[in-house]
Structure 1
Amino acid sequence: MPKHRKKGDLPEKDCLHCGRPFTWRKKWERSWEEVRYCSERCKREAKKTDKSESKDILK
């Protein structure tokens, strides 16, 4: 049984911030279920958006 998978066979998710699809990466092997964003930039931008929305609610 081959240990490697073809790139087309890897699991895929959609980024919660930008909506782009992204595929499984080796570094996410243990935490794939918790991964929500395709990049650090989307993760940062999502946090900024959440903070600004909560400030708008308080006004």
Structure 2
Amino acid sequence: MSGFKGNKAALPQKPCAACGRPMTWRKKWARSWDQVKYCSERCRGESPKKSS
């Protein structure tokens, strides 16, 4: 069984661009953490309102 066995509070976090919820770093995002903007597919589907 593999999994994170350390201090999860020490992992980096950033807010979701759509809903603002904090997202915690995941091993799945290790190579693309800088490009991750949304916490879920639902948030990805909602386009942020652009002000002109």
Q: Smaller-chain TM-score range?
A: 0.7 to 0.9
In structure 2, the residue corresponding to 1:32 is in which secondary structure?
coil
Q: What is the match of residue 37 of structure 2? A: 36
Q: What's the Cα RMSD here?
A: 1.8
Structure 1: gaps (5+ residues): none
Of structures 1 and 2, the one with the larger relative CO (CA 8 A, separation 6+) is: 2
Name which one, 1 or 2, has greater alpha-carbon Rg: 1
TM-score (norm 2): 0.76
TM-score (norm 1): 0.68
Distance 2:6 2:35 in 1: 22
Distance 2:41 2:29 in 1: 13
Structure 2: gaps (5+ residues): none
Q: What is the match of residue 21 of structure 2? A: 20
Q: CA deviation at 1:32?
A: 0.2
Distance 1:7 1:40 in 2: 23
Q: CA deviation at 1:40?
A: 1.0
Percentage of identical aligned residues? 55
